[in-house]
Amino acid sequence: MRIRRSLAAVITTAALAGLGLTGATTAAIAATHAAPSGAAPTRGECEDGGGKVDLATGTCKGGKYDGQMID
């Protein structure tokens, strides 16, 4: 649900800024992927983001947190 609200906000902001449909789509795609940050996602956040936890490597596979270490 939080992702849908974020997407709606990004598209609305982009449309109001005059980026047009192509720019709004690019902005929305960029907003759906989490940038690596100092805080590692939890197991629940990985799964909520559409990924699966790889217990062998301790990383999130697929989804929003793909390739990030799990806290």
Q: What is the pLDDT of residue 14?
A: 72
More confident residue, 22 or 61: 61
Task: Give 38: exposed, middle or buried? Use CB within 10 Å, 0-12, 13-18, 19+.
Answer: exposed
Interval 19-40: pLDDT, tens: 555 555 666 565 555 555 678 8
Domain range enclosing 18: 1-32
Interval 2-23: pLDDT, tens: 677 777 777 777 776 775 555 5
69 with 41, same domain: the answer is yes
Q: Give the pTM.
A: 0.47
1 with 28, same domain: the answer is yes
pLDDT, average across residues 41-49 = 93
Q: Which residues pair with 24 in a beta bridge?
A: none
Task: Name the amino acid, one letter, at 7.
Answer: L
40 with 70, same domain: the answer is yes
